Chain A
Amino acid sequence: MDKALLNEELEPAIGLKNQSLVLTPLQDIKGFLFHHLGRLFLFLITCTSVLLVLLIFFFVIRQALPFLTKFSLVEFLTTSSWYPEAGTPKFGALSLIVGSIYVTLAALIFAVPVGILAAIFLSDIVSLKIRDFIKPVIEILAAIPSVAYGFFAVLVLAPWMQTKWGFTTGTNALNASIILSIMALPTIISVAEDSISAVGRELREASYALGATRFETIVKVVMPAAHSGIIAAIVLGMMRAIGETMVVWMASGNAAQIPSPWWNLAQSVRTMTATIAGDMGETPKDTPHYWSLFAIGVVLLAMTFLLNIISEYFLASAKKKAGKS
């Protein structure tokens, strides 16, 4: 079809045939239809993403609905005993939700300072040449599959923890958070670096001209100017950590408990993602346990959706600021 059209459009222009340059009504309609139908077609294809998001929400929620009608949502979200296979099953997902948030926050404690410092190093301190050497390191860190990190956590880090550092169990919240922080770092670094680099040169130069050191310039001028991008970076890193499955499944010990005392990272925890991954394989279809896993999926989906909106907001405001300056 496009070939015919091509000839029709090109030939008059090139003047191979003695045709009038004015299109006939038929050609006009054809061109109009082609243009608009083509656009419509492209638009529909582009809408696949929208459709997929809707389908994801619909199908995950649909499988979770039977659970929400039979069990209390309040109990699901506020109690912490998770015994889905007991005689009278208990579905208290609080310990799982807390577990997810716990390892994520612990991971951020490691990842945020290192990530922001590294981003500053890349954007403000080293020359472009050295940057080209460091970038691949971050890219490789980001490219390593999560299951490989999990493998490292189980077979290398866990035995170290047990034998060298004297932990009772090598698979614990600390192990999971260390690995999660490594995985969140590339995201944090690249987003934070983008926003720090986007801060205008004039701001830095003005600060230096006033006699500020580099440290002062970065902390008092650049960071405040880039703060929305940095927050977005942290939120994105958090999303990466909270949605991660393999590492926490392999490394966190999978004991459904709320850590107490809360600061003791050496305890086993169990996250939402790990629960879904671990239980789904052994759960018969259409049982309360099966539905409950989808309910956890809904909680997870809601949390990441929320985080996503937050990060979008900050990214958008960072973009606006960059546009202004």
Chain B
Amino acid sequence: MRSVIRQIADKVFTFLTGTSVVLLTLVLLVVLGPMVWRGSKAVIFEDTTEFRKMQLDLYNRGNPTSIEAENSETESFRKVVYETIDKFKHGIDTEELIDRTKQIYRQFGKELQYKGVTNEQYQEIRSLARELRDKLQTAFESNDKKVIKENIDYVLQYRLNEHFVDTSAAEFFTLAEDFLQSVGNIDLDKRQQYAESLRQIEEIIFRLLGPKPGQSLPALTMDRYGATRWDLAQKLLDELLWSEQWMQEKPGQPMVKIRVARAEEFAGTKLEPLFGYVQENLDKMLLPRPKFYWQYFIDDSTPGHYFGGVGPEILGTLLLTLLAMLFVFPLGVISAAYLVECASDNIVIRIIRMCINTLAGVPSIVFGLFGLAFFVLFFIPLFGGPSKPCILAASLTLAVLTLPVMIRASEEAIRSVPQTYKEASLGLGASRFETFMKVTFPAALPGILTGLILSLGRVAGETAPILFTGAVALGPLPKSLFDPARTLSYGSYDIAVGDRLAMMVPHNQYGMVVTLVLLVLCLNAIAIFLRARMFRKLRGN
């Protein structure tokens, strides 16, 4: 009996240890999987004609004539959308209609002054026009179809009045007719609700198709183009077709979100066909095409990473890390060489080793503080440099941070060179210096490089040390080492929490962080590959 329990305990234990490893693998998949999947959409996606327009305008990429052709191809489909909305709007947007009548009235008055009518006539016509205006306004504001009909009919009887024909006041009658038509089949009590919904619809159409043709170009770059991606367009289409409303099912219960089809909301109105039309012809309005946007890795971005890529971030990251490696490589290798080849185990060496370990244990944010207090405020100004966060300060800070990693890796690499190599060299009469330079170092070089690449990967991902020493979220490309730089790591932080605009472009958020992760993982893969090769070589097969 006891042995059975012991057996079971053994099995359970084995199972638990296995589970923990499975858990690790799952964690890795859960962390990386969705991230890489969503990030890949920044590079591989279906673009639309708006994207191609944007690429031409911002990056001078693509063929202007073919985009012109696409423009004229899509225009006819888009026109229908705008027309449908405009027609419906005449019956809905009373404020705009009233404003328009006021404008017409004013314009008509001015026209009249130049026409050379007598003063009395002028007064008479003008008061008639005022009356028409007021009647129209009453009609527009009214919710009662009878009142509307009366007022509009009253206005329309002056249609052929000689004073109004071929003047700006003639628009009164077209307004009146349009209004009567569009009012014919809508529920006037719902007008407020319609107006609100219409505003949303117009906003969605704006984001879908970009600014209306003929309108002045918006000031922000992000407003100049419609949906640049097909997935974004589909999302907007969904928003267009369905409105989300908070409803209370029973009193006292929490509100629940429900989806209402906008086509139902606008049933029976002139806007109803819009939804079906957009749904059916969206691809003709946007012309989606599969796209491999490799330029994502070299393109600059518009504010908030709304459009464009991560070019400056990659550049900044490479600059910082390579510069840091430049500082740390000689230091690390020489230190390691000394520790392996020359040092005996005495108190001084023990202190040095303790310091290296301490350095490895210092939190990265403290390196940031140190970089700020030492490099930014003290060291660089000491040599006449500017006392502000810059690439030089950041890379020096990173070099300090990675020094222990570099020393340890080089030490291990130098130690792993077989003693026989050295003995052979020394036996030939070479000095220790020569032995190190010509035998040990070349043999250890792959290992040292592995360490270098590993620290490169670590440094590329570090954010905290460069927060105050040289990383910025926005800014021009650095011109010298004394400028701050945009980096992938800080950019990933900023795009995740700092930037409101970025929330609207999740593919770019994930694209940035996935670029960073892939960069780091690639460096690690190279290091692992090098290490495996080195071991094979040192073993001698």
Residues of A contacting B73 in the complex (Cβ-Cβ under 8 angstroms): none
Q: Which of A35, A147, A297 contacts B513 (CB 8 A)?
A: A147
CA distance A130 to B358 in the complex (A): 35
Size of the chain B interface, CB-CB below 8 angstroms: 87
CA distance A152 to B31 in the complex (A): 7
A138 interface residue per 8 A CB criterion: yes
Residues of A contacting B513 in the complex (Cβ-Cβ under 8 angstroms): 147-148, 151
Mark B82-101 against chain A: 1 for CB-CB distance below 8 A, else 0: 00000000000000000000
A43 interface residue per 8 A CB criterion: yes
CA distance A120 to B338 in the complex (A): 36
- Selecting from A76-84, A86-94, A273-281, the interface stretch reads A273-281
Residues of A contacting B367 in the complex (Cβ-Cβ under 8 angstroms): 56
B260 interface residue per 8 A CB criterion: no
Mark A133-159 against chain B: 1 for CB-CB distance below 8 A, else 0: 010111111011111111110111000
B6 interface residue per 8 A CB criterion: yes
CA distance A224 to B510 in the complex (A): 45
Within the complex, the shortest CB–CB distance from A157 to chain B, in Å, comes to 9
Is B17 within 8 A of A148, CB to CB? no
A265 interface residue per 8 A CB criterion: no
A20 interface residue per 8 A CB criterion: no
Residues of B contacting A182 in the complex (Cβ-Cβ under 8 angstroms): 27, 31
CA distance A125 to B6 in the complex (A): 17
In the complex, chain A residues 36-94 whose Cβ is within 8 Å of any chain B Cβ: 38-39, 42-43, 45-50, 52-53, 55-56, 59-60, 62-63
CA distance A47 to B520 in the complex (A): 30
Is B365 within 8 A of A243, CB to CB? yes
B462 interface residue per 8 A CB criterion: yes
Interface residues on A, range: 35 or more
Given known A10-B429, A49-B403, A305-B358, contact A145–B372 (CB-CB < 8 A) = no
CA distance A215 to B10 in the complex (A): 5
**Chain A residue at smallest Cβ distance from B490:** A147
B125 interface residue per 8 A CB criterion: no
Residues of B contacting A125 in the complex (Cβ-Cβ under 8 angstroms): 14, 17-18
In the complex, chain A residues 171-213 whose Cβ is within 8 Å of any chain B Cβ: 182, 185, 213
Given known A49-B407, A121-B17, contact A246–B493 (CB-CB < 8 A) = yes
Q: Which of B23, B35, B352 contacts A47 (CB 8 A)?
A: B352
Q: Which of A5, A9, A301 contacts B429 (CB 8 A)?
A: A9
CA distance A244 to B493 in the complex (A): 14
Within the complex, the shortest CB–CB distance from B516 to chain A, in Å, comes to 6
Residues of B contacting A141 in the complex (Cβ-Cβ under 8 angstroms): 24, 27-28
Interface of A is mostly: helix
B461 interface residue per 8 A CB criterion: yes
Q: Which of B24, B362, B364 contacts A56 (CB 8 A)?
A: B362
B501 interface residue per 8 A CB criterion: no
B121 interface residue per 8 A CB criterion: no
Residues of A contacting B355 in the complex (Cβ-Cβ under 8 angstroms): 49-50, 52-53
Given known A49-B335, A246-B493, contact A293–B17 (CB-CB < 8 A) = no
CA distance A143 to B11 in the complex (A): 33
Within the complex, the shortest CB–CB distance from B14 to chain A, in Å, comes to 6
Given known A45-B334, A213-B9, A216-B6, contact A59–B20 (CB-CB < 8 A) = no
Within the complex, the shortest CB–CB distance from A61 to chain B, in Å, comes to 10
For A6, A47, A213, the residue with the greatest tally of chain B CB atoms inside 10 Å of its CB is A213
Is B24 within 8 A of A185, CB to CB? yes
Within the complex, the shortest CB–CB distance from A148 to chain B, in Å, comes to 5
**Chain B residue at smallest Cβ distance from A308:** B361
Within the complex, the shortest CB–CB distance from B435 to chain A, in Å, comes to 12
CA distance A243 to B362 in the complex (A): 7
- Selecting from B294-302, B463-471, B474-482, the interface stretch reads B463-471
Given known A46-B334, A154-B496, A213-B10, contact A277–B461 (CB-CB < 8 A) = no
Is A140 within 8 A of B6, CB to CB? no
Is A301 within 8 A of B24, CB to CB? no
**Chain A residue at smallest Cβ distance from B367:** A56
Residues of B contacting A115 in the complex (Cβ-Cβ under 8 angstroms): 20
Is B403 within 8 A of A60, CB to CB? no
A102 interface residue per 8 A CB criterion: no
B256 interface residue per 8 A CB criterion: no
Residues of B contacting A10 in the complex (Cβ-Cβ under 8 angstroms): 429
A117 interface residue per 8 A CB criterion: yes
A268 interface residue per 8 A CB criterion: no
**10 residue pairs bridging A and B, Cβ less than 8 Å apart:** A42-B342, A121-B21, A125-B18, A146-B364, A155-B506, A215-B12, A218-B13, A246-B463, A276-B369, A301-B362
Given contacts A48-B331, A146-B464, A147-B461, 5 further A-B pairs with CB under 8 A are A47-B352, A53-B355, A117-B21, A147-B489, A301-B362
The 7 closest A-B pairs by CB, nearest first: A145-B461, A243-B363, A121-B17, A117-B20, A245-B464, A213-B10, A215-B13
